[in-house]
Chains A and B, each alone.
Chain A
Amino acid sequence: QKEVEQDPGPLSVPEGAIVSLNCTYSNSAFQYFMWYRQYSRKGPELLMYTYSSGNKEDGRFTAQVDKSSKYISLFIRDSQPSDSATYLCAMPQRGGGNKLTFGTGTQLKVEL
């Protein structure tokens, strides 16, 4: 079993929809939770991060963490075609190096 599980999709939604992307993890040592966005043929870029359980908002994006269930979510409100990308959850390993453990990524397409 992988430490981080993520539904690969693809997920296709109409413009303006609310999108919910989710990951589960098994390692209770994970303390930080990140969401990266990766456009086609580009490297991932950090979108949001959270530390504690609860919600964190940044514009149209909300990151949610439930440590008791080992479940994290990213919500996108009023989705736009420019949001079409692969979204990866990632968790840095404790100890030296901040090596990231990634989910497989969910491919999202927002259609006009």
Chain B
Amino acid sequence: GAGVSQSPSNKVTEKGKDVELRCDPISGHTALYWYRQSLGQGLEFLIYFQGNSAPDKSGLPSDRFSAERTGGSVSTLTIQRTQQEDSAVYLCASSPLSRGVISGTQYFGPGTRLLVL
């Protein structure tokens, strides 16, 4: 079946512009996560959605970052007034509804490579 898809695969933007990154989770998965992968930093958690609950935004680095999840499916991560330090790979993951760590395994998309000039 189809995995997690993300678009665009690459994005080049100028400093100060806004960008939107899209994630299509695996059908039926109720949990959705955004992570950021930077050189030397590894993957860092950004935000988590679970069903209709309020999202966990504890990993967002600044108020320039926001995310939405419409209809419990597709999610959009928005970065306003981009800065050069925002350059990274933004990864989305989804998992089934489960409180279990293993039954709630996260499946990752290929990521969006963002370059801010």
Which A positions have Cβ atoms within 8 angstroms of B? 4, 6, 8, 31-32, 41-46, 49, 88, 90, 92, 96-105
Contact = CB atoms under 8 A, between A and B. Distances in A.
Nearest to B113: A41
16 contacts: A41-B111, A43-B93, A43-B111, A44-B108, A46-B105, A49-B102, A90-B43, A96-B56, A97-B31, A97-B56, A98-B31, A99-B48, A100-B43, A101-B45, A102-B42, A104-B42
Interface in B87-113: 91, 93, 95, 101-102, 104-111
- Classify chain B: how many residues form its interface, as a range: 20 to 34
B54 to A, nearest CB: 11
Interface in B63-117: 91, 93, 95, 101-102, 104-111
Interface of B: 4, 31, 33, 35, 40-45, 48, 50, 56, 59, 91, 93, 95, 101-102, 104-111
Contacts of B107: 45
Nearest to A45: B108
A99 B59 contact: yes
A43 B109 contact: yes
Contacts, number: 61
Given A43-B110, A44-B43, A99 B56 contact: yes
B88 to A, nearest CB: 13
B56 A104 contact: no
- Which 10 pairs from chain A and chain B are nearest by CB? A43-B108, A104-B42, A102-B43, A102-B42, A32-B101, A99-B45, A97-B48, A92-B101, A44-B108, A43-B110
A31 to B, nearest CB: 8
A98 B93 contact: no
A84 B44 CA distance: 23
